[in-house]
Structure 1
Amino acid sequence: MRSKGFSLTAEQLALSEARRAKKAAVASVTTPLVDQVKGRIVERNWIHLKAADDIPDGHRVKILTWNLLAQCLVRRELFPNSNCLKAAQREHMLYREILLQNADILCLQEVDRLEKLLPVLKSAGYAHRYAAGPNKKHGCLIAFKKDLYEEVGLKLILYDEQNVRATDGKGVNLHGGTFRTRNIGHIVALKHSQREEGVIIATTHLFWHPKYVYEKARQAAILKREVVQFKCSIGNGDWPCIISGDFNFTPDDPVYSLVVGDPVLSVQEEKLNSSYVVHTTIDPTVAAGASKVDENDEEGADPDKVITNARAAQPADGLLSLSELIDLFSDPPLKSAYDIGLREYMESLDESNKPTRTFGDRVTIPSSRRGRYEPEWSSYTFYWKLVLDYIFILDAPGGQSTITGVLSGHRTEELEPGLPQLGVCGSDHVSLCVEIVFTRT
């Protein structure tokens, strides 16, 4: 039986269709992933180190590295004067800064809340790889523009499981470690989609404790060794490497000198020697001290803590001597993109016309040594004000790299009274970004 409903007029049909179209339009509008108001930060200038005519033709890559300050590590007592410690206060500042430079490759440390970050990266055209140490709630992430690069290799390095000595059957601990840190190195091999070449990208977050100098030297040496072995194992031994991250050592530290191939000074050697200990996380028989620093401590704990709950190292512990560490780092040394790139540029400028301040403007380093032209700060809080983050380069055999541009540092007054701060920076670390051109000779 035919229903006896009323028929709609042409005007009513048109109105109904307009309402449906309006609902569909509203439904299609999504909330922006990055809120520009909540994401307000202090923007920094890009420093062009080379004139356009002086930039060589080669594989050009722009890379950004940044420690995001994992939300799971935020504690009010560490950042007493910060006004944005809640995730909702910081997250859009983080997203804005990550995307602002439009880097080809991102190396991020202390990454958590992946369910929030990954959609932002995906919307900006990035693919990614994430890795974390055992039972850690934050990790390291490498992201790359998927229209520029294809992943062709991947490796995770667990520093606690790595040997620094060859098997010799003499009962010596081959790991040669001082502390089970659960820190990692994360490596990705990327082939350029438009060139018959690629690049090996590694990022890391070394052990935070300022007194464990030897352990950081051990981890940095392992990372360099594993990067070189990895690129050869996948048949790309002629590719250059970029190794960036939060290394937790300063430019005047003995580990920095080892990394870049500078002689280790006597004062640096003393600092290294005082860290030849074995913590209870390696040797459980070590008697417990009154104050403990254990494997659950994270970067950001009180940097003035001394070594506790540890004993002096013995020959059987397998720790490397200074000469053995130098051999493990071996030639060629790594090059720091900021230190190399800014040195020639800044030295050519008038003292009153420098576009950014560097580490050497506040800490005396002889001109014959490296490190003077690292950023003035890469971490700035109420309790610590340091340079801890770097972008290192290992040129391909027969190749060379040219630093064509860097992101300038913050002015110190912008960072007061300490990061993170609303409208300034959403992390306790400052992002670094460089553009590099790789050429073959």
Structure 2
Amino acid sequence: MSSQRRRKQFQPTPEQTALAEHRKAKKQQIITDASQLQSVAERNHTIPPIAQRVWLPVHPPSRVQGCQIIKICTWNLLAQCLIRRDLFPTSDCLKAAQREHMLYYELLEVDADIICLQEVDRLEKLLPILEKAGYAHHYAAGPGKKHGCLIAFKKKLYNVLASRPVEYDTQEIRSDGNENARRGRSFTTRNIGSLILLESKIKENDGILVATTHLFWHPKQAAILFREVLKFRNDACCEGWPCIVGGDFNFAPDDPVYSLIVGDHLLPEQEERLTTSQVVHISVDPTGIPTIGTDEENEEGLDPDKFIINARPATCTDGLLSLTELVDVFSRLPQIKSVYDEGLGGIEAINRPRTFGHRVPISLTRRGRNEPEYTSYTHYWKTVLDYLFVLDPGDRPSKVIELLAPHKEETLKPGLPQKGVCSSDHILLAAIVCWEDPLH
């Protein structure tokens, strides 16, 4: 009897056969879509589906031998699951079918070695495109979120040595008090940072730490991110590797958090602005009585990653970092540089495109004035939110070789996303950066 059972072959039912055929056809369609979208640049070479941008030379490397040269980009894709018509009343390409070919074209046209993406969803469409273009990837999302952060890298250049997610809501910022006080939470955001160590396939014992994030506007999250970046690098004994942190930080260059990151002292008006973050949202303390904002005040265009409503003033038992503590946390970090602020600042003024400092007064002695004029431009908000930051090894300072030129404001009107311009409400940032080997 047992011998007969072994000889008996499995016979699928008609329903199972049909299901298998359906899955096979769906997989083949994904591959076909990837192939078609991969070649969109060639098919539409004469009429690009996006506004064209040029690369700006900044500091040509003095030599190539002994240099670690990386082309990297960061981009908030605008997750399809987050799109609402009322947030983008002037946009003409909010449906996936209208946007995605533009998105893939722009990603592939940059030809970056490393790609940092935020608000990534519809992975079943994106991943085949990246795979066909020669990229591997690492994806991470906050608990319960339908979109996340993705780091892609050219398979011929790197291997993943290690990865680490950072859930901001669960990170501790002090050792005393109860759990809430140790975490010092102001808001339950479910936001994360995604960190990976990429080992070079070209040069032995060389590599780079890459981090990407989509921050909630709050200084604590930025402090945690850079703290964990350094800890991750040190834990892996890779102190000689540079770090690049790209993402949507949800603060502008004149914001106190930006100043804290790049090492500028806080201005009095920035200190006053930080006091507005000393609140506890109802998502952390449901028993609290909302005193700042109401649901009715959540008007069109109000971005939940930049504004806190339904919150109460914080007390000392909530554990939020004081102004003095915040300054102390950031002061312990090594020098952090913005690639675009350094790069655009290194271009002669006569050749330099308009920057953030052209429309917002920032002292010549302070950093941030040379960030792009805009990195997010919609009907309701027009600002700078996206950055590429670098942390150099002590003996290998970075040099910006080239930058992808920011869009001019007239190109972005009346607001992104826009057919023939850009598929997201954010602008892709890209740069070529090098670190020279001190031994050469």
TM bucket by the smaller chain? 0.7 to 0.9
Equivalent residue number for residue 108 of structure 1: 117
1:249-302 deviation line (CA, Å, top 9, x unaligned): 0000000000101001000111101220111111111135783399xx9x9645
Equivalent residue number for residue 161 of structure 2: 152
**1:292 and 2:300 aligned:** no
Offset, 1:33: 2.3
CA contact (8 A) 1:199 1:240 kept: yes
Offset, 1:399: 1.9
CA contact (8 A) 2:68 2:437 kept: no
Aligned-partner residue type, residue 190 of structure 1: L
Equivalent residue number for residue 20 of structure 2: none
Offset, 1:313: 0.6
Structure 2 distance, partners of 1:171, 1:158, is 15
Question: Structure 1 residues 278 and 56, CA, compared in 2 at 3 Å: closer, same or farther?
Answer: farther
Equivalent residue number for residue 27 of structure 2: none
**1:379 and 2:376 aligned:** yes
Structure 1 distance, partners of 2:32, 2:160, is 33
Q: Which among 191, 197, 205 is matched to residue 189 of structure 1?
A: 197
Equivalent residue number for residue 358 of structure 1: 355
Aligned-partner residue type, residue 180 of structure 1: T
Structure 1 distance, partners of 2:398, 2:280, is 40
Equivalent residue number for residue 281 of structure 2: 279
1:336-382 deviation line (CA, Å, top 9, x unaligned): 0011122122xx343xx43x211111111111000011011100001
Question: Structure 1 residues 286 and 63, CA, compared in 2 at 3 Å: closer, same or farther?
Answer: same
Q: Which among 126, 132, 142 is matched to residue 135 of structure 2?
A: 126
**1:162 and 2:171 aligned:** yes
Question: Structure 1 residues 303 and 142, CA, compared in 2 at 3 Å: closer, same or farther?
Answer: closer
Structure 1 distance, partners of 2:117, 2:396, is 27
Q: Structure 2 stretches of 5 or more lacking a match?
A: 1-30
RMSD: 2.4
Offset, 1:54: 6.4
Q: Which among 425, 429, 435 is matched to residue 426 of structure 2?
A: 429
CA contact (8 A) 2:301 2:381 kept: no
Q: Which among 21, 36, 51 is matched to residue 32 of structure 1?
A: 36
Partner SS, residue 32 of structure 1: helix
Q: Structure 1 stretches of 5 or more lacking a match?
A: 1-27, 208-212
CA contact (8 A) 2:281 2:312 kept: yes
Partner SS, residue 375 of structure 1: coil
Q: TM-score, normalised by structure 1?
A: 0.85
CA contact (8 A) 1:400 1:440 kept: no
Equivalent residue number for residue 64 of structure 1: 73
CA contact (8 A) 2:57 2:402 kept: yes
Q: Which among 207, 219, 235 is matched to residue 221 of structure 2?
A: 219
Aligned-partner residue type, residue 226 of structure 1: E
Equivalent residue number for residue 178 of structure 1: 186
Equivalent residue number for residue 386 of structure 2: 389
1:193-217 deviation line (CA, Å, top 9, x unaligned): 111210000000001xxxxx5xx21
Partner SS, residue 153 of structure 1: strand
Q: TM-score, normalised by structure 2?
A: 0.86
Q: Which among 208, 211, 214 is matched to residue 205 of structure 1?
A: 214
Offset, 1:112: 0.2
**1:325 and 2:329 aligned:** no
Structure 1 distance, partners of 2:305, 2:162, is 40
Structure 2 distance, partners of 1:198, 1:60, is 11
Offset, 1:334: 1.1
Question: Structure 1 residues 303 and 178, CA, compared in 2 at 3 Å: closer, same or farther?
Answer: closer
Structure 2 distance, partners of 1:171, 1:426, is 42
Offset, 1:121: 0.3
CA contact (8 A) 1:185 1:203 kept: yes
Identity %: 53
Structure 1 distance, partners of 2:177, 2:397, is 41
